[in-house]
Amino acid sequence: MRETRMFRKILVANRGEIACRVMTTAKRLGIATVAVYSEADAGARHARLADEAWPIGPAAARQSYLVGERILEVARRSGAEAIHPGYGFLSENADFAAACAEAGIVFIGPPAAAIRAMGSKAESKALMERSGVPLVPGYHGEAQDLPLLAREAARIGYPVLVKASAGGGGKGMRVVGGPEEIEAAIEGAKREALASFGDDRVLIEKYLTRPRHIEIQVFADSFGNTVSLFERDCSIQRRHQKVIEEAPAPGMDPARRKAMGEAAVAAARAVGYVGAGTVEFIAEGDAFYFMEMNTRLQVEHPVTEMVTGLDLVEWQLRVAAGEPLPVREDRLRIQGHAIEARIYAEDPARDFMPAVGTLVHLRQPGEVPGHVRVDTGVRQGDTITPNYDPMIAKLIVWGEDRAAAVRRLSAALAEYEVVGPQTNLELLRAIAGHRAFAAAELDTGFIARHAGDLLPAAPAAGPDEAFAWAAAVLVTLRDQQAEMQAQARDSGDRWSPWAEADAWRMNGEGYQDLHFRQGDDQPVTIRAYPLGEGRFRLDLPGGLVEAELAEDEAGLLLLLEGVSRRLRVVRRGAELVVVLNGRNHMLHRIDPLAPPRTETAGNDRVRAPVPGRISRVLVQPGEMVAKNAPLVVIEAMKMELTMRAPMDGRVESVHHQAEEMVEEGTELVTFEMEAAAP
C-alpha cells in the first residue's frame, strides 16, 4: 500500500454516531480529524472526539450541516485535505462534491457525476432499465404536475408507493391505498422531500405486499476495480425506515447472490462509480427488482464489516487517497452472521413518534471485539433534540450462525438501559425473541403483521413487577433514613429519636405506608414492616413478601423471598425508574399531603406531541371539521406529523402560525364544546 499518499487531516461533515465512527478509523490510521458542530451540538460526543472542532451555525441543519460553503471554509482554514460526508446531510449532494473538487479538497465519496446519475431515483431507474435490470412497475418521469401523477398512480394500480426522487431513509415516502388518498400523499411527500433533500420531485411505484428489502454493498476504486461485498437483509422496518438489518440475507442461495451481486456491480460500473455504495433491491418470491442506489456508506454497514472482517471506512479513505481496493474479489468471504439493531428515541405505541429528552441514565452492553459492538454519538447526560434524527445508537452482534447471532442480540438488548426519552428497546427485544424472527420469516410488513405480539396494548404483569415495587419502596425508605440522619447531624443532636425512620409504635406493630402510582393506574398503597438488620416485610399488590436491599461495587442487589436480582433505580423528582433486565418500570411517588391533581386537558384541544416547527395550518377559527380531519402539520426530526381533529366540531381558535416553533404539549387548536344539558 502507498501509505505516503494517505491524508494527514480530514474533516468529518456530519454528527452523531457516523461522525464518531469515521473518526475512530481515522485515528487508528494516524489521520487527524476536524469536527463541525451546530449550536445544539456544542458539547456533543463527536465534537469532543475530534482533534479540533469548529462551529458552523444554528441548530437547524439547513443553517449548519447543510451549508456546504461554510463547511468548505472550515476545511480550508483548518488545513483538512479531504471531507468525509458520513451519511445523510451532504453525503449525496452532487453540487457539494463538485464544490469540493473545485476547492482542491478531496470528497471521500463518488464523483459528482455518479451521485447525479444514481442520486435521483428516477434517473437511476431509467439507467437500470436501459441496462436490463428488472424494475418494479412505476412512474419515474420528470413531469411532476399533480393530475399527471394521479393518472400514473391509477395506471400502475393501487396500492402504490409515493417516494422522494432524491435522498432516502424513508423521508418523503407514502403508501397509498386508493385514489381518494393520492393527492394528499403526493403533496405531503413533496413537502417532506423538499425539507429533507431540497428537492420535491417524487416517483410512484407499485406497492408489493410481502417484499423483502435486500441490498448489495459495492466498492470501486479509480483503477476500474469494482467488487460486491455481499448482501444485507433490511426487511424489518417501520415508517419505511430500517430497524434491524443482518448479513448475510437468510435463505440467500449462491445463484441469487451471484445474480444480485453482478447486477449491483454493473450498476456501479455504468456510472463510473468510485468508493462505497449500496444497490438496493426489493425481492418477492423468486424475483428481485432494482429500487435505488445510495451513493454513500449506509447506516447498516457494520454488519458487512462483521461478516467480512473489513473496515469499510478504511477502504473509503484508501480509495479516496488514490489507492486500489485493498482486497481482490476472489479473496472475499462471508464468515458467520451479523445483526444490527437501531436504538431510537421514539414511542412505538404512538406510531413510532420521535421522542426528545435528556438521557438521564445510559448503560450500553459491554463491547466484545468481533462479537458485540456499539456505535453511538451520545453519552449519559446528552439531550435528544427535535433538530436531528432521533437515533441513540446501533447495536451490532456477530455469531457463528444466525441462531447464535439472534441469541447474542437478545442478551445484549437485555443489558441496554436508557432512562429519559421513550425508546424502542422493548420493541427490539420483542422482535429478537419472536418465533417468526427466529425462523427468518422476514418481509417489510413484519412489524405491522405481528403488532399484537410486538406492540401489546399493555405489558403483561410478571415476576419483575414485584421486584420493581419492592425496589421502589426500599430505596424510598433508605433515602428517608439518610435524609433524617443528615437533619439530625445538622441539628447537633445525632441521637435524637426523630432521626430514626424505623416506624416504631408504642402499642402495635410498626409499619409505614408508602403511596405510588404506575402510569395512569389507580394509586397503590404499600405497607412496609421493618424486621431489623435492613429487612422488611412488604404488603405488595401481589401479596406479602420479605425483602432486603444491599449494595456493593456492582450496584444494587434486591433479595425477595430469598431470590436475588441485580437492578438499578434512577430518580427523576418524584418518579423512580426501576431498571430490571433492561426494562424500565416507572413508579411515581405520591405525597398524601399534597393537593390532588387536576386534569386540564380534554378532547376539546389538540396539543403538540413533540417539539417542532409548524409547517402548515390547515384550518381557521369558526371552521366546521369532521373527526380525524387534518388540522396542523408539524415538522420534527426530519418527519411530518399531522395533527387531526379528535371529534366532529367547530374550531374555536388556532394558537400558532406556520413557521413558528412549538414545545411538546403546546396547545395548537381548541374546539368549541357543546353546552351541557341543564
Q: Which residues are catalytic?
A: 296
Tell me how far apart the terminal alpha carbons of the chain are, to the nearest angstrom. Answer: 88
Nearest 5°: the CA angle 16, 18, 22 is 125
Give the residue carrying C-alpha cell 462551529: 55
- State which amino acid sits at residue 416: Y
Task: Determine the Cα–Cα distance for residues 145 and 166; give it in Å rounded to an integer.
Answer: 17
| Nearest residue to 291 (alpha-carbon basis) of 168, 153, 174 | 168
Which runs of consecutive H residues, i.e. helices, occur in 389-536? 402-415, 425-432, 435-438, 446-449, 451-454, 463-491
Q: Is 286 exposed, middle or buried (0-12, 13-18, 19+ CB in 10 A)?
A: exposed
CA atoms within 13 A of residue 399's CA, in its CB half-sphere: 15
Task: Determine the Cα–Cα distance for residues 79 and 82; give it in Å rounded to an integer.
Answer: 9
| Nearest residue to 7 (alpha-carbon basis) of 81, 74, 109 | 81
Task: Determine the Cα–Cα distance for residues 286 and 661; give it in Å rounded to an integer.
Answer: 49
- What cell was used for 542? 401481589
Task: Determine the Cα–Cα distance for residues 390 and 236; give it in Å rounded to an integer.
Answer: 18
Rounded to whole angstroms, what are the CA distances from 442 to 135, 189, 246, 388, 477? 21, 27, 11, 29, 48
Contact 659, 640 (CB under 8 A): no
Task: Determine the Cα–Cα distance for residues 208 and 211; give it in Å rounded to an integer.
Answer: 6
